[in-house]
Structure 1
Amino acid sequence: MDVQRVILIAALALVSYLMVLQWNEDYGPAQQPQQQQTATVSAYGDSNSQPVSELPLASDANQDADVPVSGQEAVATPVDSNKLISVRTDVLELLIDPKGGDVIHAALPEHESALSSGQSFVLLEQNANRTYVAQSGLVGQDGPDANSEGRPVYTSAQSEYTLEGDSLTVDLNLNTETGVQITKRFIFQQGQYDVAVEYLVNNTGAEPFDAVLFGQIKRDGTADPSQQTSMGMQSYLGAVFSTAENNYQKVDFGDMDEERFKATSPDGWVAMVQHYFLSAWIPAPGAEYTYQSRKINGQYLVGFLSPSFTVAPGQEQTVSATFYAGPKDVDQLEQIAPNLELTIDYGWLWWIASPLYMLLKWIHSVVGNWGLAIIGITILVKAALFHLNAKAFKSMAKMRKFAPEMTRLKELYGDDRQKMSQEMMKLYQKEKINPLGGCLPILVQMPVFIALYWVLMESVELRHAPFFGYIQDLSQMDPYFILPILMGATMFIQQMLNPTPPDPMQAKMMKMLPIIFTFFFLWFPAGLVLYWLVNNMLSIAQQWVINKQIESGEAKD
């Protein structure tokens, strides 16, 4: 009869596993689709369109007033791709619209849109499906972007540029009717995702030239295309401002729906953040800037305004800012601007997560595989908490060893709770058992586990990083659920090594936990499940040794 029951349970488990596989194929979280090649459209329409209401207006040097908008926003219309300016570096593929000189497309060739797709991940784009662009210009009294006829149309020496050395300069030129020559210059560096954007103003006219530099990011409310898992904690999607008063302030789309954000600060930056990637404007240091958010016609705009500057007749002046479009690479972000690396959001446990990330990165530099690096950091964390875990396991082992005696006391004094409590306390004191000893150490180490969880979630290095065998992307779920099932099995083994709770209802709930956690982890990224699996295996080994020592009387308190 027992053999038949084992066979039936095994068959039921196999059928359930196959059903889960089929359910996931039909209804489970879809893999990130390859990004469609959609016709790029101008952010502003043709040169005869009406003034664009989304641009900030700066009427005074102090920027005290709210940023007003007027008129109707121009409807985006398809444009001839030959009119756009293409720029290629080793890490960036950009399209610049001559009208306004805005970046309306940014692809990252070092990061695929989907595993083995052969297509670059597209961060910025302007098409029928999605709007996410970087805008900049000169507004104010004489700024060409404040012209009632619409955005200025720049000219360039060529329509295609390719980085062939250490740096590449792309100049867009504009001659105004007042005799002011403006060059909008983009400077690219090899291996760098940050782009220097300079405005060289040469006033050959007879009147002073007054203007204000602005930079802003425009995005619609579409979902994060780089969020590759729908289970567990989700990465932040929205804007972030860094000012002298608050070096990291989130302003999400819901906040912008309710009210505008506005702050004045020396230096600082503004960014639009999503899972693994971000775009940011960092104005040149040494001035007082106005930072703001707005929502216009369903589009979210975040950006900065510089102080007003004046170029006298016969004089030249340069104003500048830096634009970043790329991954959350801590090394580059730290070099670009203070606090920009905080966009790699580890939450309130950042002070634990940051050193854990550095340790993970160092292990990877030694072993060369991110899956092995996860195993390595799990072992090191477990070793650091070895004595803390040992206390918990010893307490549970003693509870397990004396469980029959506790059951006897419960049966003997079941009707007299006070007497039973007294006898239990005598047993605890005699055998040096701390009933809470297994709880407190676990609570102490939980912050470390949560911090490591966020490190694995926020590390762009794990995106499309292979492990071994069929696991080719540690940031995606295990397609065959092998790791979650093994993780659930290890949880079940751990329960067998622990004392059975005296409360029957609690005991039944504990037996259900491995099943619940297995189902919960089915769609977690493989890297996170690998961490929990290795952690459970190490805990089983330590707990088994301690249980044997307690049972043989060899363990010391």
Structure 2
Amino acid sequence: MDVQRVILIAALALISYMLVLQWNDDYGPAQQQTASAQPAETVSAYANSGEAELPVVGAASDAGADVPEAANADAQTAVAETQVSEELINVSTDVLQVVIDPRGGDIIKVALPKHEDVLNSGNPFVLLEQNSNRTYVAQSGLVGRDGPDAQKGGRPLYSAASTEYSLDDNDSLNVDLTLTQENGVAVTKRFTFNKGEYRVGLDYIVDNQSQESWNGVLFGQIKRDGSADPSQQTSMGMKSYLGAVFSTEENNYQKVNFGDMDEERFKQNSPDGWVAMVQHYFVSAWIPAPGAEYTYQSRKLNGNYIVGFLSPSFDVAPGESQSVSATLYAGPKDQEQMEATAPNLKLTVDYGILWWIASPLHTILTWIHSVVGNWGLSIIGITLLVKIALFQLNAKAFKSMAKMRKFGPEMTRLKEQYGDDRQKMSQEMMKLYQKEKINPLGGCLPILVQMPVFIALYWVLMESIELRHAPFFGYIQDLSQMDPYFILPILMGGTMFIQQMLNPTPPDPMQAKIMKLLPIIFTFFFLWFPAGLVLYWLCNNVLSIAQQWLINRQIEAGDDKKA
């Protein structure tokens, strides 16, 4: 009978496992993003429109504009008629593939060749794009009284020496877009790309050879529709933030999500600062040059969410030349590069309220990886370090549980002796606890202590670009995604069951039944958790089992001092 029961349970477990695998294939969270058979073609945002889409300077409303309008329409200066091509400009570096629209000089596509869209696809992850599927672009220009982006007839059409640029073996690359206004003012829009960097320098050089003073305002903005985050590949568990972030003197990290922009506009003046659009693992941000007070603002227009900055107005005297600048960061949440780009920009790696635990964990995890060269082994290493740090605290808890296990028969005898006299039974139990130094709640302590570390590590795995597509061994090729065959969650559930066998059985029958269900419940929840997180919990359970087994043996042998 016992053999038959074992066979039936094993068969049921196998069938359940196969059903879960099939359910995951049919309905579960996708392990990979499904790419369309024909990617949408990158197009100019202004190819079929003669109207400019800019923000407003010195006005109360946007009047339907998407980029700033002039404060003084009577002083507008026309852009000289020139024969220039509207063919898109392609720029390639070792870490960026950029497409620039000569109409306005906006960056309308950024692809990241060092980061695949889907594991082993060979295709770069596309961060910014302008096509029929999605709008997410980085715009910039000169508005104000004489700015070319404020003139009638739409965005200015720049000319360039080529439509193809490549960094090749050089350390830096300048891409110049030029135009000449009718009054003789020459405007050069220069993008600077550096080897290995995700930040792009922007310089506007205004050479005023006219007879009158020239006045303008620099703007930089990010325009994005409300589409889902393409880098968020898991559909269960906590989600990374998707939306805008402003960094100002008043608040160095202020989230303004799409719902906030639906309700009202954000507007604030601040010296320096930056504005960003954040998603899972990746970020785009405009950082104006330090040393001036900027206006930061958000708005919603034609279904798109727009966040950006406006510089103070500046004048260029006749016969003089002047430049204004800003920096665009478009790439992964690389903490080292972001810290070098702007103060507080690395806060876009959002670890939540447990950042004070998560940040050191990330530092330690990175250091271990520099030694072992595998992120899975790094997670095992950090699990061991956390276990060592909490060794004494866990030892006290395990010692208390071991004593409860040892004196379990005595507790059962007291329960049978005093029957329904709960008060007397509680008194005798308390005497036993005090005499043997037993803490009945001690078993909860290890879990309570581990939970903040567990949640903090969850956010480290969620937010650290280093772990995206990071392999472990064998079939686990991405620690930031779920185990495709659920092996790690099942092993984790098995270790929880072994832990329960080492623990004393709760005296309350209902509590005992709930405890028996916990391994099953936890296994189910962990099925779709990132494999790296399950690996951490599995290793933690194995180390806990070893420590608890040793303490149990010492307590049962009567050697309390060693325990």
* Both structures adopt the same fold (TM-score exceeding 0.5): yes
Q: Which of 60, 65, 68 is matched with 2:62 structurally?
A: 68
2:31 and 2:482 in contact (8 A); partners too = no
Q: In structure 1, what residue type is equivalent to 2:5?
A: R
How many percent of aligned residue pairs carry the same amino acid?
77
Matched, 1:235 2:228: no
Residue 2 of structure 1 pairs with residue 2 of structure 2: yes
- Kept in 1, the 8 Å contact 2:56–2:65? The answer is no
2:25 aligned with 1:32, yes or no? no
Q: Return the alpha-carbon distance in structure 2 between the equivalents of residues 496 and 230 of structure 1.
A: 34
Find the aligned partners of 1:272 and 1:35 in 2 and give their Cα distance: 23
Match for residue 178 of structure 2 among 173, 177, 180: 173
Partner of 1:383: 388
Deviation track 1:158-199 (CA, whole Å, cap 9, x = no partner) reads 000000200000000011112210000000000000000010
**CA–CA distance in structure 2, aligned partners of residues 144 and 154 of structure 1:** 10
- Runs in 1 of length 4+ with deviation above 6 angstroms? none
Match of 1:504 among 490, 499, 509: 509
Determine if the alignment matches structure 1 residue 363 to structure 2 residue 368.
Answer: yes
- Is residue 253 from structure 1 mapped to residue 247 from structure 2 by the alignment? no
**Paired residue for 1:102?**
106
- Asked whether the equivalents of residues 32 and 225 of structure 1 are also in contact (C-alpha less than 8 Å), the reply is no
Q: In the alignment, which of 197, 210, 216 is matched to residue 215 of structure 2?
A: 210
Shift of 1:21: 1.0
Amino acid at match of 2:99: L
Q: Secondary structure at the match of 2:555?
A: helix
Tell me the SS of whatever aligns to 1:538: helix
Matched, 1:51 2:51: yes
Q: Deviations over 1:307-340 (max 9, x none)?
A: 1111111111110000011001111011000000
Distance in structure 1 (CA, Å) of the matches to 2:504 and 2:61: 66
> In structure 2, how many angstroms separate the alpha carbons of the residues matched to 1:145 and 1:23?
54
Structure 1 match to 2:44: 42
Asked if 1:521 is matched to 2:526, the reply is: yes
- The residue that corresponds to 1:417 in the other structure is 422
- Measure how far apart 1:501 and its partner are: 1.5
Greater Cα shift, 453-462 or 327-336? 453-462
* Cα offsets for 1:391-436 (capped at 9, x unmatched): 1111111112112211221222232221111111110111111222
Tell me, in whole angstroms, the C-alpha distance in 2 between the residues paired with 1:380 and 1:260.
Answer: 47
CA shift digits 1:375-399 (9 cap, x unpaired): 1111111111111111111111111
Hey, what's the Cα distance between the residues in 1 that align with 2:479 and 2:116? 15
* Secondary structure of the structure 1 residue equivalent to 2:551: helix
CA distance in 2, matches of 1:239, 1:504: 51
Q: Distance in 1 between matches of 2:23 and 2:368?
A: 37
Tell me the distance in 2 between the aligned counterparts of 1:284 and 1:489. Answer: 56
Cα deviation for residue 212 of structure 1 reads: 0.7
Alignment-derived partner of residue 470 in structure 2:
465
Output the amino acid matched with 2:154. G
Q: In 1, Cα distance between the equivalents of 2:65 and 2:89?
A: 28
Give the whole-Å Cα distance in 1 for the aligned partners of 2:285 and 2:146: 26
TM-score, with normalisation over the residues of structure 2?
0.94
Map of 2:353 onto structure 1: 348
Give 1:193-204 correspondences, 5 Å limit.
Answer: 193-204=198-209
| 1:67 positional shift | 5.0
| 1:59-108 CA-partner distances (Å, limit 9, x unpaired) | 3xxxxx545233699xxxxxxx9810000000000000000000101000
**d(CA) in 1 for partners of 2:321 and 2:34?**
47
1:117 is aligned to 121
Change beyond 3 A, Cα 1:428–1:51: same
| Contact 1:94 1:107 survives alignment (8 Å) | yes
1:204-249: CA deviation from partner (whole Å, max 9, x where unpaired): 1111111110000011111111112112111111111100110001
Q: Does the residue aligned with 1:83 lie in a helix, a strand or coil?
A: coil
Deviation of residue 351 (structure 1)? 1.4
Contact 2:86 2:157 in 1 (8 A): no
User: Is contact 1:82–1:159 with CA below 8 Å preserved after alignment?
Assistant: no
Task: Output the amino acid matched with 1:56.
Answer: P
Which residue does the alignment assign to 1:269?
A: 274
CA RMSD of aligned residues (A): 1.5
Choose which of 92, 95, 99 in structure 2 pairs with 1:91: 95
The amino acid across from 1:4 in the alignment is Q
Distance in 2 (alpha carbons) for counterparts of 1:440 and 1:519: 23
- Can you give the 5+ residue segments of structure 2 that lack an aligned partner in the other structure? 68-84
Indicate conservation of the 8 Å contact 2:216/2:315, yes or no.
yes
In 2, Cα distance between the equivalents of 1:259 and 1:124?
Answer: 25
Query: SS state of the match for residue 335, structure 1?
Result: helix
CA displacement at 1:508 relative to structure 2: 1.1
